Amino acid sequence: MQQNQTTAGDMFASFQQAIDDSWKKALSSFGELGQGGAFGGGTNWQLPQFSFSPDKLQALQRQYVEEAGELWRQGMSVQPGDKRFAGEAWNSNPISAFSAAAYLLNARTLMAMAEAVDADPKTQARLRFAVEQWMAASAPSNYLAFNPDAQKKALETKGESIARGIQNLVQDVQQGHVSMTDERAFEVGRNVATTEGAVVFENELFQLIEYKPLTAKVYERPLLLVPPCINKFYILDLQPENSLIRHAVAQGHRTFVVSWRNPDASLSHVTWDDYIEQAAIRAIHVVQEITGQDKRGGRINTLGFCVGGTILSTALAVLAARGEHPAASVTLLTTLLRFQDTGILDIFIDESFVKFREMQMGKGGLLPGGDLATTFSFLRPNDLVWNYVVGNYLKGETPPPFDLLYWNSDATNLPGPMYCWYLRNTYLEDRLADSNAVTVCGESVDLAAIEAPAYIYGSREDHIVPIGGAYASTQILSGPKRFVMGASGHIAGVINPPEKKKRSHWLREDGRFPAAHADWLKGATEHPGSWWTDWDTWLKTHAGKQIPAPRAYGKGTAYKAIEPAPGRYVKAKA
């Protein structure tokens, strides 16, 4: 028994060293990967000081010894539940089974040790992330020498799978990112972003698209959608059957969308103020003018998605400071206004990192879109990175066509000054939601001054905008509010057409918005299916009367059709 305790103690001394190594290697790997990375590169993270309580360490030691003994008794077979090792070949090959079983045991133990560390919450989160990255990268499934599924395929194809894998690797190196789908199967304007419309206005930052009505009458108040500028707008218009834009048009809304320009060197000087004044506010005014809502104080319905919601809300607050209240309603989809609950992204943000970015590109420069995409992919490394490394390179497979993953790979750049302002004033200092704490476009921003009913949506499993962060907007906006929680994540929860009859959403009808989302949820009721139908009902109450649908795009010679939707801005590659 004494000998077993000594062995376990020695083993855990090595595991403590492994955590140190994992931390260093994961940060090193992630830093190199994001040396231009949106959040990862350029940080000055130091190896943190931490310790374990003796009780926790002893409990982990006992658990490890018990699980290791159980593995030996089971003949080192792979336990079900991890899809990386689900193939029959893993259990039929003793060496592979041993490597997988030992890896899973060590991974569980390292992650448990990361959870057991006595340290401040941010250090704990960074440590968990570092260990997760290193364990994901070191899985035996990622290496041909240990992956029996890939070896079997190489034998069956007489080496052809390896040759295709090398071709796939060369192709991905040339295009600058790992292929998640067969990108040759899609083309913007041909089979994604196909809702019929026309560009009716453009400047150096955006094109404004107006969509052709699908109904004989439309509501008098138009609908303007502001998508995130860190992605292409057609996440809202992928295919006809899952297009939120087409759905809105079919409901009788005269619909407009901002299509952001993919910045190049000519826009490297653009600031957050420019995005608000020359893009969001300009789009609001143009829609008002085209639809006649600029007369007699007419208003328009507005929708912002993710960062687009932050931009839209800031623009409406700036206009409120100028005495303008153009919004009949505001819909915010997975949007952060209060940046206290930012989930996993918080681990990257500290003063030294933001200062580094400000020195690097605060006065001018571009954040490459590929770095943003890489950062977000490594938030789910097994699903969005190593899964494709194994399939594309070890097995020589071509991933199947998937419109969402095609969109996910279609990256956009960001102007450095705009990005740096956003980092400091939201993620780092969280000042945007504080009344009159920041000045934008020469105006003190007070989000509570927005005079419009708000429909606020959050996704339950969102790792980009956690549900608590989305819910926090209910405590900031002062007008009538409706909050809905949808199932699934940042994208799948939003893009959930009713016809699919998937997932659920939660509503609370008593009009109460307690400070914490958990307390709101206690009084909420689950409803099957998409939240879109609830939004339809709500939006129609703010859309005004119905009028004959327009017969032409734009308005007169001032705003005439420039080119067919989706326009040329969205087709520019990062």
Looking at the structure, tell me whether residues 130 and 205 fall in a common domain. Answer: no
**Where among 102, 127, 156 does a domain terminate?**
156
Looking at the structure, tell me whether residues 98 and 208 fall in a common domain. Answer: no
Could you write out the DSSP letters of every residue in 479-496?
S-EEEEEESS-TTTTTS-
Percent of the chain with pLDDT over 90: 71
Q: Whose CA is closest to 404, among 495, 340, 485, 502? A: 495
Q: Of 106-110, 400-404, 436-440, which has the strongest mean pLDDT?
A: 436-440
Looking at the structure, tell me whether residues 359 and 508 fall in a common domain. Answer: yes
In a domain, 477, yes or no: yes
Q: Whose CA is closest to 419, among 336, 318, 307? A: 307
Q: Identify whether the C-beta of residue 399 lies closer than 8 Å to the C-beta of residue 180.
A: yes
pLDDT greater than 70 at residue 226 = yes
Q: Tell me the C-alpha distance between 282 and 318, whole Å.
A: 12
In a domain, 248, yes or no: yes
Give the model's pLDDT for residue 4: 42
Give the model's pLDDT for residue 47: 53
Q: Whose CA is closest to 326, among 168, 216, 450, 448? A: 450
In a domain, 136, yes or no: yes
Structure tokens at 65: 């010894």
In a domain, 161, yes or no: no
Angle between helix 94-116 and 54-73 (nearest 10):
170
State the average pLDDT for the chain: 89
Ranking 37-41, 128-132, 297-301, 532-536 by mean pLDDT, the lowest is 37-41
Q: Identify whether the C-beta of residue 269 lies closer than 8 Å to the C-beta of residue 415.
A: yes
Ranking 93-97, 455-459, 507-511, 566-570 by mean pLDDT, the lowest is 93-97
Q: What is the pLDDT of residues 418-461, one digit of tens each?
A: 999 999 999 999 999 999 999 999 999 999 999 999 999 999 99
Looking at the structure, tell me whether residues 203 and 114 fall in a common domain. Answer: no
Confidence of residue 75 (pLDDT cuts 50, 70, 90): low
Structure tokens at 90: 């893993």
For range 46-73, the mean pLDDT: 76
**Helices and strands in the chain: count of H runs, count of E runs:** 20, 19
Domain count, the chain: 2
pTM of the model: 0.89
In a domain, 379, yes or no: no
In a domain, 390, yes or no: no
In a domain, 66, yes or no: yes
Measured CA to CA in angstroms, residue 346 lies from 195, 244, 281, 428 at distances of 37, 30, 29, 9
Q: What is the pLDDT of residues 483-527, one digit of tens each?
A: 999 999 999 999 999 999 999 999 999 999 999 999 999 999 999
Q: Tell me whether residue 420 is one of the annotated catalytic residues.
A: no
pLDDT greater than 70 at residue 26 = no
Looking at the structure, tell me whether residues 201 and 137 fall in a common domain. Answer: no
**CA 21, 27, 31, 34 torsion: positive or negative?**
positive
pLDDT greater than 70 at residue 240 = yes
AA identity, residue 366: L
30 vs 413, which has greater pLDDT? 413
Domain that holds residue 8: 2-156
**Where among 156, 182, 206 does a domain terminate?**
156
E strands within 28-91? 51-52
Q: For strand 504-507 and strand 197-202, is the pairing parallel, antiparallel, or unpaired?
A: unpaired
**Where among 156, 182, 208 does a domain terminate?**
156
CATH number, domain containing residue 209:
3.40.50.1820
Q: For strand 217-219 and strand 117-118, is the pairing parallel, antiparallel, or unpaired?
A: unpaired
Looking at the structure, tell me whether residues 150 and 288 fall in a common domain. Answer: no
Q: How far is CA 85 from the centre of its chain?
A: 28
Q: Of 132-136, 178-182, 493-497, which has the strongest mean pLDDT?
A: 493-497
Looking at the structure, tell me whether residues 228 and 146 fall in a common domain. Answer: no
Looking at the structure, tell me whether residues 126 and 26 fall in a common domain. Answer: yes
pLDDT greater than 70 at residue 27 = no
pLDDT greater than 50 at residue 145 = yes
Of the candidates 229, 306, 420, 441, the residue annotated as catalytic is 306
Looking at the structure, tell me whether residues 315 and 427 fall in a common domain. Answer: yes
- Total count of residues recorded for the chain: 574
In a domain, 332, yes or no: yes
Place of tokens 């687009």: 308
Looking at the structure, tell me whether residues 113 and 222 fall in a common domain. Answer: no
pLDDT greater than 70 at residue 79 = no
